[in-house]
Amino acid sequence: MTYNASHIEVLEGLEGVRRRPGMYVGGTDLKALHHLVAEILDNATDEVVAGHANRIEVILGLEGSVSVWDNGRGIPVDSHPRYPEKSALEIILTKLHAGGKFHNQAYTTSGGLNGVGISVVNALSSKTEIVVERDGFCWRQSFSKGIPTTALIREEPTKKRGTRVTFLPDREIFPDVTFDMERILDMCRAKAYLNRGVRIHLTVAATGENHQFHYPGGVKDYLDQWLADKQFVIDKRFSGFVEQQADATNPLRLEWAMAWTHEEKGKLLSYCNTIPTLEGGTHETGVRAALLKGIRDYAEARNLLPKGITIIAEDVLDGLWAIVSLFIHEPEFAGQTKERLASVWVARQVEGAFKDHLDHWLHGDVEQATRLVSAIVDKAQERQNRRKDSNLVKRKTATTRLTLPGKLTDCSSPDTSQAELFIVEGDSAGGSAKQARNRHNQAILPLRGKILNVEQANLEKFEKNTEIQSLVTAIGTGCGNHFNLSALRYGRIVIMTDADVDGAHIASLLLTFFFRFMAPLIQNGHLYLAQPPLYRLTCGAESWYALDDAEKESMVTKIQKKKPKAKIDLSRFKGLGEMDPKQLRETTMDPASRRLLRVLVDDSDLTHDTFNRLMGKKPLERFLFIQEKAPFAEACLDI
């Protein structure tokens, strides 16, 4: 076949967008569909950022249309100097790379850069209508698939100003044109957080739903709402705002809010000129570098780093939930969908600006900062422990920390008789316990879920069980025929589980393990059960803790006798992770106020039979036990 000039196609206007939508909106799937909304919403937000608008309205129409209005300056409607036969509005809607974002005096910072956003939306919509209020009149023009279907019409006089863009996605391009309400809500919510003071109103015509978004606190409000159900390493949030000039042409404005939680993983949401940069970029690189350097510097300055421990980015970012919003002039993105910021100079500039504020924040509250950095040091230690392979670890001095198993957070005391190991269920309770503990002589070992029932498991399962192997390694004695009491690393082993049925079951599984494989621990009085309270009673400024229902009723009676008219607030703890560190220390870990039960065996044969009956492989034995104890169940059931 001959290849000649006749095979060269010249696509006019926006025809190229319709032929290759993936180049402009990333495809034709639901993500691309919602990108159309994002482009128009970004234009409205740019008016807010430029200081010309403070209200935005979004309407999801009955037939799948979307309408976005802002009370900004309005798209220019006068004739374009280069194309005098057409208005600026028509040029913007029908030509790629046409818009006010190229002109420094029109927009200092904006999300739109290449002048393709609204024209691409127009090209991929079966119907687009633009209504502009400016210059004393209302102006209107309609389009279809990127081509004008009406001229620009001047309508009634008005004193208002603003732009309304209404578009209907083209079903020839998008197989599914159903908008996801949650995605639209997230878009509007994020724009409101990122532009403190703006009011965004979302209406859903089909259901009559109305949503208002207005957050004067900016990204800090965003973070507080986002993390409403999380537990934090420290009470303080690190939030701030900085505006500076990188050079004559590159102003930089940075806002952030972040908090560290007890969860293993966190999340960093970043934005540039209100555009969500889902793949990160140079602004995230700068923030991460500053965080790592700032935390390392503080740890070294306060002598918080044990010998041989190095903090890396993973330790700092684990559990960190953060929002970073950057505004710069003419950012460079990787691709039209703007999911990654590529401006090289930003990383260095953001790092310097952010670290100054981080250093000030850390040294401004030494108590909180030390708790935070100590928790990060613990993570570094746990990470390095997981990479080492050792079956026996001895603690030599207060400043020497050698290989430790799993997630064990060790204490520093070289005196085994004073050292205590608290075995807790889950990372949430483990996080609270780490803050509540006395670092000198109390170690914490969180176990994931319910451990293996050793009464039923075979040897192969036993040897492969990670939680049991971590437990054996932490205690240091070995187990079974290899048990060596002289190698014990802690004078007290304390089982600390929730005061509910699940907690009792986990404690039973642990007791079964200790009785079967570490019996000398029990015989020599080293094993204990913590007694966390089930209730908290508050009357005025005073609080009391009750172990169970009987103690609760007794306390209520005593309080009512002393204060007959006083109101008693009663709360029940669902688990140890629900207590803040101060409460956990006071009620369960502080030797001066806690209650511990030492585990003893009076009759070895009877105990052996009981474990075999209740934890063994015969369900009938457990069923018979339940029948025997049924008359006593009413007083004991925890429902």
How many CA atoms lie less than 13 Å away from 54 in the CB half-sphere?
5
Q: What is the pLDDT of residues 494-542, one digit of tens each?
A: 999 887 778 888 888 899 889 888 999 999 999 999 999 888 888 887 8
Band (pLDDT 50/70/90 cuts) for residue 249 is low
Q: What is the pLDDT of residues 193-236, one digit of tens each?
A: 888 889 999 999 988 999 999 998 889 988 988 888 788 888 88
Neighbour-count burial of 450, counting CB atoms closer than 10 A to its CB (0-12 exposed, 13-18 middle, 19+ buried): middle
**Residue 41 · residue 163 · CB < 8 Å:** no
In a domain? residue 60 = yes
Query: Which tokens hold the place of 559?
Result: 């309080």
Q: Within its chain, how far is the Cα of 191 from the centroid?
A: 19
- Shared domain for 94 and 192, answered yes or no, is yes
**Which residues are tagged catalytic?**
425, 498, 500, 502
Of residues 124 and 449, which shows the higher confidence score?
Answer: 124
Domain that holds residue 236: 219-373
**Residue 89 · residue 102 · CB < 8 Å:** no
CATH number at residue 342: 3.30.230.10
**Residue 624 · residue 609 · CB < 8 Å:** no
Q: Is the pLDDT of residue 639 over 70?
A: no
In a domain? residue 416 = no
- Shared domain for 138 and 270, answered yes or no, is no
- Shared domain for 223 and 176, answered yes or no, is no
Helices 366-386 + 426-436 axis angle, to 10: 130
Of residues 35 and 338, which shows the higher confidence score?
Answer: 35
In a domain? residue 497 = no
Domain boundary among 198, 213, 228: 213
In a domain? residue 357 = yes
Give the number of other CB atoms < 10 A from CB of residue 179.
20
- The CA-atom distances, in angstroms, between 419 and each of 424, 490, 599 are 16, 5, 18
Q: What is the pLDDT of residues 586-630, one digit of tens each?
A: 899 999 889 999 999 888 878 887 887 777 767 777 677 676 766
In a domain? residue 293 = yes
- Shared domain for 281 and 301, answered yes or no, is yes
- Shared domain for 178 and 102, answered yes or no, is yes
What pLDDT score does 284 carry? Answer: 94
Mean pLDDT is highest, among 146-150, 305-309, 402-406, 532-536, for 146-150
Nearest to 395 by CA among 417, 377, 428: 417
Looking at every residue in the chain, the average pLDDT score rounds to 83
- Whole-prediction pTM: 0.55
**Number of structural domains the chain divides into:** 2
Domain boundary among 194, 213, 232: 213
Name the residue with tokens 């392979």.
389
Nearest to 310 by CA among 299, 326, 322: 299
